[in-house]
Amino acid sequence: MTKNRPIRQWKQAAFYHLLVWAVFISYELLCLFTTVGLDGQYLHYGIYYVMYISLFYLNAHVILDFSFFKTKSPYLIAAGLIVVEMIVFGLLKAVIDGLLAGADAPWLSLKVFTRAYLLSNIFRQIFFIGFSIAYWSMLYLTRFRDQAQQMEIERLRQQASMLELENRYISVENAYLQHQVSPHLLFNSLNFIYYAVYKLSDRAGKGIMLLSNLLRYSLTAGSAQQKTIELKQEVEQIRNLIGLDRMRFNEKRYLGFKSNGELSGRFILPLALLTLVENVIKHGECGDPSAPATAELQLRGNKLHFSTVNKKREKTAYSTTGLGLNNLRKRLQNAYPDRFELQVNDEQDQFAVHLSIDL
């Protein structure tokens, strides 16, 4: 349907042009017939009308299009080209008049340069060229109107997109503000529970405090405003997470963590290392003393190496979709394009991850 539309439009335009010319030629011939009579051959009339109709379209689609769309001085160039066009057309018309009259040398036998002959042909050319200019002006105005309408439609579309984006931003902002209410309420509740519990059980109070620190770090460090975090803060939360996991299972957890290198003054993408350790706790087997899980951090100059190795758990309550590692890879790609390497070795009984970053 879309491909056939230009063809239909072209056929429709051609039909209207043929209809207008048929009406115009019929009107002129009828006027001649009723006033002075048709003393020429029909073939001659046909040749003359083909010439003048060609002059009409040549002036509109070649002379005027070129002058106004391809040059910097359209009016001056259009006037000059129209004068040249009239001279060339007048000479061609004189030659054809001579040929149709049957003269051997038409430009000599005909009195081409008589005043009546010149004026009649000049006025005839001016008529068709003026008609052509009016036709071209109508096309230009229509084209300009269509472009203006298209620009207005595009402007309205962009305005609608901006309003849609603004509405989405407001919705997200409201959701974010609502999200902020819950953590504050949660932290206040945890503080209350901590002060109520730690006198009765130091172990339970410590667990609540570790959980509170982890939640606070996850929410603040993971926010859009926090681009990087101090490496030592990330390491501290790794230790908190491992400590909380050990408390859950009465210290019967075998996940070791060690770090080498100077951590001060180094910054890293928030939650990058913590995500890998959390992945070990969620999906790895950390309760087998014969195959303990390990997490190791090494810092050599600006090069950070972090690796985790764990035995696979036979049954887990969490689905292993790999979404966490995929999201981490995307975050690393945005933060460290071409400056990191994340290797995942998924074997039959063991799962290992190695991350290296140029800080």
Whether 180 has a pLDDT exceeding 50, the answer reads: no
Whether 6 has a pLDDT exceeding 90, the answer reads: no
8 Å CB contact between 93 and 121: yes
Q: At residue 159, what is the residue type?
A: Q
Nearest Cα to Cα of residue 287 among 320, 250, 321: 250
DSSP annotation of 349: S
User: Could you identify the residue written with the tokens 């790609």?
Assistant: 333
Whether 355 has a pLDDT exceeding 60, the answer reads: yes
Whether 69 has a pLDDT exceeding 70, the answer reads: yes
Whether 320 has a pLDDT exceeding 70, the answer reads: no
How many other CB atoms are found less than 10 A from the CB of residue 240?
18
In the chain, the percentage of residues whose pLDDT exceeds 70 is: 80
CA 185 – CA 48 distance, rounded (Å)? 93
Q: What is the mean pLDDT of residues 32-49?
A: 79
- Range scoring the smallest mean pLDDT among 9-13, 21-25, 189-193: 189-193
8 Å CB contact between 121 and 90: yes
Tell me the pTM: 0.48
| pLDDT of res. 178 | 45
